[in-house]
Amino acid sequence: MINAESSHVFSVFEISSFLKENIESNPYFSSILLKGEISNFSFSHGKHMYFSLKDEQALIKAVMFSYDNMKLNFLPKDGDEVIVRGDIKIYLKTGVYQIVVHQMEEVGTGKKLQALEALKRKLYLEGLFDENKKMKIKEIPSNIALVCAPKSAALKDLIFNINRRFPLVNIFIFPSLVQGEDAPKALINALNKAFNFKEKIDTIIVARGGGSSEDLDAFNDEKLIRFVASRPIPLISAVGHEIDLSLLDLVSDVRVSTPTAAAEKAVPNKDDILLDLDQKHNLLTKNMQNHILSLHYRLSSYKNMDFFKAPESMYIKTLARLENTKNLFIKSMKYRLDKMKGALQNYLLRLEANHPNQVLKRGYAIVEGEEKLITSVKNVKIKDTLRITLKDGTLVSEVIRKE
């Protein structure tokens, strides 16, 4: 019997969402290469392609949307063996995972894609794409470096949008080739100049407009990727369009699809800053007004105090308090002295009552021998001389007998 109370019971949505999030956010499942045979091929309204890719042991569903499949130089059909590049996605409503294909080539022409996938896997395993190594883009930069083709639309777009959003930032341009065999070396040289520029660069943007996969080959160069991985400055990649994913995108700190988006990531919007300053100014003004009002109320209360309304009355009241305190002190001391005198008088009376002279007055006498008081007949011998003290004098006598 299942004990549902002893452990957490997942909903279907929870487990599907967990799988979707962890698979789709993992770079290892983005822009992967997959080889297989097409089956169940169909067009949706003559635009999107839906099919399956299979081998001898498994099958995966696939879709290639119109903006990607319109670039194909052949028409796929059932039975074709192809190599595709795409992203693994999970459709929550059905729980089905599939590959969203961005590129497709017939087997025999996909060696280049296979080599790129192998390089991607190698760099991934080495940790070059690790999210923990990503640097944070500075929120309010002072200096920004742009690495892109001179006089390009991407450069113009970046300059316009950066100045529009935050004109206080300094823009430094490091021109470079972005296409062709010499582009990787040129990009490394431009980045190196930016890294070592005399001004402290806060953010670097590498930008290029869209193009075919061949046009973006420079941004998959292993030397370039390793050089960028050792960067000392945060880097934003704005290469190609949303459907294109280069290795530079994976190694950079932030990846965007357009130069405009790169500008939005690199600098704040001055309008937002001004709005925030206005709000803080209003809040500060309100707080100061409240503080001044509070001080005004306190001052008004002070004005109504006797000390300020009639200072001499405070002096008179203080003298009266001192006089009252003095009288209380004198009264207290007199009471204590009287009490002590009464106690002392009692002690004197008790001492007088117990004085030997008082005893003698009552008819008693003090009998002394030669060296000590006589308190017993046993202490006296016949013919001993005794001194007998009475209340009014002393007698000297001789003992003639004892009774």
Supply the pLDDT for residue 227. Answer: 96
Query: For residue range 199-250, what is the model confidence (pLDDT) as tens digits?
Result: 899 999 999 987 666 678 899 999 999 999 999 999 999 997 655 678 999 9
Candidates 210, 260, 249; CA nearest to 71 is: 210
What is the rounded CA–CA span in Å between residue 62 and residue 100? 6
The ranges of the chain with pLDDT < 70 are: 1-7, 108-113, 211-214, 241-244, 306-308, 356-363
Cα 271 to Cα 139, 140, 284, 337, 377, distances in angstroms: 15, 14, 20, 86, 127
Supply the pLDDT for residue 235. Answer: 97
Buried b (16+ CB within 10 A) or exposed e, 206-233: bbbbeeebebbbbbbbeebbebbbebeb
Cβ–Cβ < 8 Å for 20, 90: yes
Tokens of 57: 């042991």
What is the rounded CA–CA span in Å between residue 90 and residue 369? 131
Tokens of 109: 């022409």
Name 386's Cβ contacts closer than 8 Å, sequence gap at least 6.
367, 368, 369, 374, 380, 396, 397, 398, 399
Buried b (16+ CB within 10 A) or exposed e, 117-135: beebeebbeeebbeeeeee
Q: Is 215 helix (H, G, I), strand (E, B) or coil?
A: coil
Supply the pLDDT for residue 214. Answer: 67
Indicate whether this model's pTM tops 0.75.
no
* Backbone CA torsion sign across 389, 394, 399, 403: negative
DSSP 82-129: EEEEEEEEEETTTTEEEEEEEEEEETTS-HHHHHHHHHHHHHHHTTTT
Query: For residue range 30-73, what is the model confidence (pLDDT) as tens digits?
Result: 889 998 988 889 988 778 999 999 888 899 999 999 989 988 88
What is the rounded CA–CA span in Å between residue 390 and residue 247? 135
What is the rounded CA–CA span in Å between residue 263 and residue 144? 10
CA 260 from centre of chain? 31
Supply the pLDDT for residue 1. Answer: 61
- Rounded to 5°, angle at Cα 93 from 90 and 96: 40
Dihedral pair phi/psi, residue 171, rounded to 5°: -110, 125
Name 103's Cβ contacts closer than 8 Å, sequence gap at least 6.
68, 71, 84, 85, 86, 113, 213
Supply the pLDDT for residue 297. Answer: 85
